[in-house]
């Protein structure tokens, strides 16, 4: 999966947080274990907290399912992890992130940015990603978690902001609760 000349950078912005430790890192580990993502994928945690990869690993540990036979693969997963400390509004921090991705990957590194962050920083972060961190060759994708605004006005504002920076096919929006009620109703009907 994936050619040798291209690599992948999965960047978790807000890597010090709750969603990252409970859901994102555990999912990336399972996908990696099952060879469902290319071997030449590198994972970059990014947040303001002063942390090391070992500390991120320690935080995630209670949520990681690792059997004895998976140990080697688990070590390999963490060997492909990096951590970059930076703020959400400082351009030079995003330049450092870009530089780090450039050093680890191949010239053609596809980049996926996952915003595991409070919505208050979505606009600043996405502006800085656009300004400093787009893939030089290859594709860039941005994943945003709910909530997409708190009312129609703020939602439209965020949508317009994102549309000014990215093509629609570069954006993914995740809302775990969309459709939840409908699914619950279906279960009731059954
Ligand atoms: N937790 C879940 O299970 C869950 C489920 C569904 C959706 N979500 C959504 O996922 C996103 C992240 O959720 P989360 O629970 O991981 O949030 P969180 O732990 O509160 O925040 C994630 C990280 O963002 C930084 N941060 C927190 N408050 C900030 C602020 N006011 N200004 C700037 N940075 C701040 C912190 O990192 P640093 O201080 O190190 O920079 C923190 O570790 C949110 O949009 C949330 O709605 C979460």
Spatial distance between the Cα atoms of 86 and 6, rounded to a whole number of angstroms: 26
Residue 162 counted as domain residue: yes
State how many domains the chain has: 1
Residue 55 counted as domain residue: yes
Ligand 1 neighbourhood includes 118 CB (under 6 angstroms): yes
Proportion of the chain above pLDDT 70, given as a percent: 97
Q: Give the CB-side neighbour count of residue 188, counting CA atoms within 13 A.
A: 6
pLDDT value at residue 180 = 75
Which tops the pLDDT comparison, 41 or 179?
41
Q: Is the pLDDT of residue 168 over 90?
A: yes
Which range among 2-6, 16-20, 71-75, 87-91 shows the weakest confidence by mean pLDDT? 2-6
Which band of pLDDT confidence, cut at 50, 70 and 90, is reported for residue 33?
Answer: very high
Q: Is the pLDDT of residue 144 over 70?
A: yes
Ligand 1 neighbourhood includes 18 CB (under 6 angstroms): yes
> Nearest C-alpha to atom 22 of ligand 1 is from which residue?
17
pLDDT value at residue 99 = 97
Ligand 1 closest atom vs CA 22: 3
Mean pLDDT of all residues in the chain?
94
Ligand 1 neighbourhood includes 47 CB (under 6 angstroms): yes
Residue 26 counted as domain residue: yes
Which tops the pLDDT comparison, 174 or 33?
33
Q: What is the mean pLDDT of residues 96-107?
A: 94
Ligand 1 neighbourhood includes 160 CB (under 6 angstroms): no
User: Which of 50, 114, 118, 119 has most ligand 1 atoms within 8 Å of CB, for mutation?
Assistant: 118
> Nearest C-alpha to atom 10 of ligand 1 is from which residue?
116
- DSSP H helical segments within 105-172, as ranges? 122-128, 152-165
| 3-state DSSP percent of the chain in helix, strand and coil, to 5 | 50, 20, 30
Residue 102 counted as domain residue: yes
Q: What is the mean pLDDT of residues 134-156?
A: 91
**CATH number, domain containing residue 49:** 3.40.50.720
Which band of pLDDT confidence, cut at 50, 70 and 90, is reported for residue 130?
Answer: very high
Whole domain around residue 84: which residue ranges? 6-189
Spatial distance between the Cα atoms of 174 and 9, rounded to a whole number of angstroms: 19
Proportion of the chain above pLDDT 90, given as a percent: 82
Residue 167 counted as domain residue: yes
Which tops the pLDDT comparison, 130 or 182?
130
Residue 1 counted as domain residue: no
Ligand 1 closest atom vs CA 14: 23
């Amino acid at each position: 999966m994936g050619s040798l000349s291209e690599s992948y950078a999965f960047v978790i912005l807000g890597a010090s947080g709750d969603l990252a430790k409970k859901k994102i890192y555990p999912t990336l580990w399972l996908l990696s274990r099952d060879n469902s993502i290319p071997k030449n994928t590198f994972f970059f945690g990014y947040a303001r907290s002063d942390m090391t990869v070992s500390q991120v690993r320690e935080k995630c540990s209670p949520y990681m399912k690792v059997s004895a036979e998976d140990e080697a693969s688990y070590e390999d997963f963490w060997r492909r992890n990096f951590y970059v400390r930076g703020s959400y509004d400082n351009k030079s921090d995003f330049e450092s992130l870009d530089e780090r991705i450039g050093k680890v990957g191949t010239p053609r590194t596809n980049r996926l940015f996952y915003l595991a962050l409070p919505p208050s920083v979505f606009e600043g972060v996405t502006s800085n990603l656009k300004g400093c961190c787009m893939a030089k060759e290859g594709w860039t994708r941005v994943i945003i978690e709910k909530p997409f605004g708190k009312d129609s006005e703020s939602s439209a504002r965020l949508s317009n902001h994102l549309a000014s920076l990215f093509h629609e096919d570069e954006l993914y929006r995740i809302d775990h609760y969309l459709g939840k009620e409908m699914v619950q109703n279906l279960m009731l009907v059954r």
